[in-house]
Amino acid sequence: MKKPKFSKIIAGTMSWGSWGRNFNANEMQRLTENCVDLGVTSFDHADIYGGYTTESAFGTAFSKTAIVRSKVQFISKCGIQLVSPNRPNKIKHYDCSKAYIIASAESSLKHLKTDYLDALLIHRPSPLMHPYEIVEAIQHLKKDGKISSFGVSNFTPSQVDLISSEVAIDINQIEFSAVQHQALFNGSLDQMLKNKITPMAWAPLGAVFSSELSAQKKRIIEQLDVLAQNYNATPDQLVLAWILKHPSGIHPVIGTTNLKRIEASVAAVSINLTSEDWFKILEASQGYEVP
């Protein structure tokens, strides 16, 4: 299958269902249509969202739209086993076995009412995972045309090396923001740039604008307020522009369901921070100038 091209801004669906807004089918349908109209054509899912219910709700909503399936991209993640009424688990744990990966992918296909996933990611690395099992599962799913690309989420560079020794990794979804920027210095983004792995960033705003402000967040906001006037942009747009500046080509996964904020996020793609302004935000985050 041809590798998909994902929209620069990706819609994260974690809060669309019972873990957040609890949208009904009509509300979810409208939000999906609005996203696509704005050019946000990639939708990030995980089997666990909504206690294993959000994918099904989204699939029902999407089936009500007139959107052509080939014009959008469905991403899903598996590997986390939650304690839930929908699962017999006695403890939260990870499962990266061949059987579970295949079963989870097939379950996501059924719930999303689609024949294929544009990407399947292992949601969290398991201390018990074996690359041979993962590669067998991915080869099986690709052979059957059930997934187009494969990736990981929250994996360290050494864990990426372990898995990629047996199967090509196309995507690595990591936590990354002006607040949480360890990937700049721990080799993660270097590795993705070198190996042409597509980076996706969850929590790209880093809760900068939450009600509880740390000293770090206060410094960032103060710097953003100064730069906002120069770029005629909002602080949240500048936080995304800071991420988008990185040469690895990061795709922010935004969690908002507010249409105006989604529009603002899309507009952030056209903001090109100068290198000096980028470093001003980094310095504000770190609390000291770079060495």
| Crossing angle of the two packed helices 215-231 and 275-286, in degrees rounded to 10 | 160
174 by DSSP, 3-state: which?
A: strand
Q: Taking a C-beta distance cutoff of 8 angstroms, is the pair 14, 48 a contact?
A: no
Tokens 């960033």 belong to: 201
Determine contact, residues 181/175, Cβ cutoff 8 Å: no
Q: Is the dihedral of CA 6, 11, 13, 14 positive or negative?
A: positive
C-alpha torsion sign, points 215, 220, 226, 229: negative
Q: Which residues are catalytic?
A: 49
Q: Closest by alpha carbon to 58, among 35, 86, 82?
A: 35
